[in-house]
Amino acid sequence: MITIILAEDHQMVREGLKRILATESDLELVGEAGDGLHAVELVEKLKPAILLLDLMIPRLHGLEVIRRLRGQTETRIVVVSMHADEPYVIESLKSGASGYVLKDSPPSELIEATRTVAKGNLFISPGLRGCALTASLRTMSGGPLHDSDNLTNRERLVLQMAAEGNSSTMIAGKLFLSPRTVESHRGSLMKKLGLRTQTDLVRYAIRKKIIDP
């Protein structure tokens, strides 16, 4: 039996995922969390085989949940996200996740991901394989990804979001940070990369294929 904790803050989505899991006799849902801190507490208490985790979860961002649990438990983490952007996949795997499934994937894919990861293998949605998986594995193995390798994980996310046109306030809301903290990350990454303006930042992100032109 594969024991599972489901961490998702949207109740309708959570109910849908629960119905998918309930169709399989070898999968057992042992706990639910509506925020990141509760997810960490449940994993530490119940020690499930798998944590199905939404990245954009309140109180503690999904990436921080992964980092907190890494090395502290044998629970393997499968990210279940609406974000198909390569940086999210890369940072999730780099932080310690063993799987990444898109929310618009067929139900069978979530089941396959859960079983695959429970066996100790890596799973990533077919639509994200190829360049994203290659980049992720290269990053985890210590190889270069791009010139922003000297940025912290959070600075990379801020870089991508800022290049996509998000304001500091918008980024703060998505990452559950204060606007001042986002501004600090933005200032730090701009300095590290030698960028001066928003235009420079966008051009850099396009050049490095962090965003599409």
Angle of helix 107-118 versus helix 11-22 axis, rounded to 10: 70
pLDDT, position 122: 86
What angle in degrees, to the nearest 10, is found between the helix axes of 168-175 and 153-163?
130
pLDDT of residue 141: 42
pLDDT at 87: 74
Domains and CATH numbers, the chain: 2-140 (3.40.50.2300), 147-207 (1.10.10.10)
pLDDT in tens, 43-77: 999 999 999 999 988 888 898 899 899 878 899 99
> Based on the number of CB atoms within 10 Å of its own CB, is 174 exposed (0-12), middle (13-18) or buried (19 or more)?
middle
Residues 2 and 19: their CA atoms lie apart, in Å, by 16
Give the strand pairing for 27-33 and 2-7. parallel
Can you give the pLDDT of all 213 residues of the chain as single tens digits? Answer: 999 999 999 999 999 999 999 999 999 999 999 999 999 999 999 999 999 999 988 888 898 899 899 878 899 999 999 888 777 887 888 888 999 999 989 999 999 999 999 998 888 888 776 544 444 444 444 443 445 557 887 888 888 888 888 899 988 887 778 899 999 999 999 998 888 888 888 888 888 777 766
pLDDT for 186: 92
